[in-house]
Amino acid sequence: MSIHQTCNSLIETLRHRRQKLATRIDFPVILWSGTSIPRNYPANVFPFRASSHFLYFAGLPLVNAAIRLEAGKLELFIDDPAPSSALWHGEMPNREYIATQIGADVAHPMAELESYLEGVATIPVQDPATWTQQSQLLNRWILPRHQLQGIDLELAQAIIELRLTHDQQALAELRTAAAVSVEAHKAGMAATPSAKIEAEVRAAMEKVILAQNMTTAYHSIVTVHGEVLHNEQYHHSIQPGDLLLADVGAETEMGWASDVTRTWPVSGKFSSTQRDIYDVVLAAHDACIAQVRPGVEYQDIHLLACTVIAQGLVDLGILQGDAENLVERNAHSLFFPHGIGHLLGLDVHDMEDLGDLAGYEPGRERSDRFGLSYLRLNRPLQPGMLVTIEPGFYQVPAIINNQEVRSTYQYTVNWERLSQFADVRGIRIEDDVLVTENGREVLTEALPTDANTVEELVCS
């Protein structure tokens, strides 16, 4: 769907969203979309991405726009394209047309915004130019994340209540993003045997996303160094004995994200050590997904992953001791240092621009315990929430070669046995899981996880 083709159901959804907001707050709101950020000179900009809070209520990725919401009404502020812009950018829709497309009650030029600022709340936009403009216009500092105050904080909490669970329009978009990511991963697996470097596999995957006129929801990770958690290098050569970790997710034109990881053997065949560890990560993945249902604490799902991984590593002779005790002593986090996942929606880490306000139930704070400190979501699950489940195993040199770690876990890790698994640098398996009324639905289920089928896909 593009700006030329919005439909009545989207307009209805947008109306419904702002009516729900109006039941939670009794003050007006202005949300800015943001502006393009210059790349190397002003006319050469990074691809524009509208603020997610704006997108949620305005539906379209409009540049340099704002919306005012009050008592269920929508007012649009945007300038008509300058006459000269048709030469460089083609004919663009005018203000009145856009207003009709999003079901706005009124539309104004941007300059009129100044007359509508009395008592409004807002949320800071990510680009510095708009953020500064917000603060100047409202004559107060609009503070980011956990520093939000007063009506801005109340607004953030109201929006979080809405965006924590997804309506049907959002789910249709999220399903589309997930389906395209599934195809991208299959293309990546098939492209691997003939690829010489990581960049070729990345290109095969992103081609599928770009061909749908979508973008990636975050920088793709396509690497033989999966132990670098957010690796953004693609120059390494890929060799038959390597594992390739690909964390690649599509984002729809309307901004809805997916977040998918698979790890596969470059040769099309896991070595026995790779397969052993892969099956431990898969056991954690499957056990965690089976626990997803309303009322379950997401932190408990994280701790379940830790225990399954610890038990698997005990069974392989890498860790020594009782799994639950090992988790209490953080031994699992030497190999699984991050959280089991996060919220997913318009942002890949949904609403992380608000710090932990969205991810953490009010009254809860991040633990300072290694491993738990990277848990991005700590709430009971509710129907309509979309979360990722993404356990992993990594041999991060900075952790496992650290002398303090080595001495603390001298008798907990069988270091000699671990050295036999040197061909396993990083494995992650990540799916997008919707909490339903009775359990769960894995939106990315069409992408196989079992080792044999993954091998077949690489060889296809």
- With beta carbons less than 8 A apart as the criterion, state whether 195 and 201 touch: yes
Minimum distance, C-beta of residue 262 to ligand GLY, in the bound complex (Å): 12
* Interface with Mn ion, residue 356, by CB under 5 A: no
Distance of closest approach, residue 294 Cβ to Mn ion, in angstroms: 21
Of 131 and 218, which CB lies nearer to ligand GLY in the complex structure? 218
Q: What is the C-alpha end-to-end distance of the chain, expressed in Å?
A: 33
Look at residue 347 and give the partner it binds from ligand GLY, Mn ion, none, a contact being a CB closer than 5 to 8 Å depending on partner kind.
Answer: none
Residue 432 in the binding site for ligand GLY (CB under 6 A): no
Whose tokens are 């671990």? That residue is: 418
User: On the CB side of 402, how many CA atoms lie within 13 Å of its CA?
Assistant: 10
Return d(Cα 453, Cα 429) in angstroms, integer: 14
- Residue 259 makes contact with Mn ion by CB under 5 A: yes
Judged by beta carbon, residue 259 or residue 356, the one nearer ligand GLY is 259
The 219-258 site mask, x for binding ligand GLY (CB under 6 A), equals ----------------------------x-----------
Nearest to 436 by CA among 390, 381, 391, 388: 381
Q: In whole angstroms, what is the distance from residue 243 CA to residue 263 CA? A: 7
| Between 33 and 388, CB nearer to ligand GLY | 388
Site for ligand GLY in 373-392 (CB under 6 A): 390
- 51 vs 261 by CB, closer to Mn ion: 261
Three-state SS for 434? Answer: strand
Binding characters for ligand GLY, 256-295, by CB under 6 A (x = yes):
---x------------------------------------
In angstroms, the Cα distances linking 146 to 163, 208, 252, 255, 376 are: 18, 38, 29, 24, 14
38 backbone dihedrals φ, ψ, rounded to 5°: -60, 145
Of the pair 218, 234, the CB lying nearest ligand GLY is at 218
Handedness of CA 268, 207, 60, 139 (dihedral sign): positive
In terms of DSSP bridges, do strands 106-108 and 73-77 run parallel, antiparallel, or are they unpaired?
A: parallel
Rounded to whole angstroms, the Cα distance separating 331 from 360 reads 25
Report the site for ligand GLY in 317-376 (rule: CB under 6 A). Answer: 348
Nearer to ligand GLY by Cβ, of 170 and 375: the residue is 375
Continuous segment of H or E residues that includes residue 101: helix 95-102
As measured in angstroms, the least distance from the Cβ of 191 to ligand GLY is 20
Closest contact distance (angstroms) between CB of 227 and ligand GLY is: 15
Three-class secondary structure of residue 346 per DSSP: coil
> What is the Cα–Cα distance from 101 to 59, expressed in whole angstroms?
9
Residue 218 interacting entry, from Mn ion, ligand GLY, none, C-beta within 5 to 8 Å by type: ligand GLY
Least distance between ligand GLY and beta carbon 21 (Å): 28
Q: Which spans of this chain sit near ligand GLY (rule: CB under 6 A)?
A: 218, 247, 259, 348, 390, 430
Q: Which spans of this chain sit near Mn ion (rule: CB under 5 A)?
A: 247, 259, 261, 388, 430
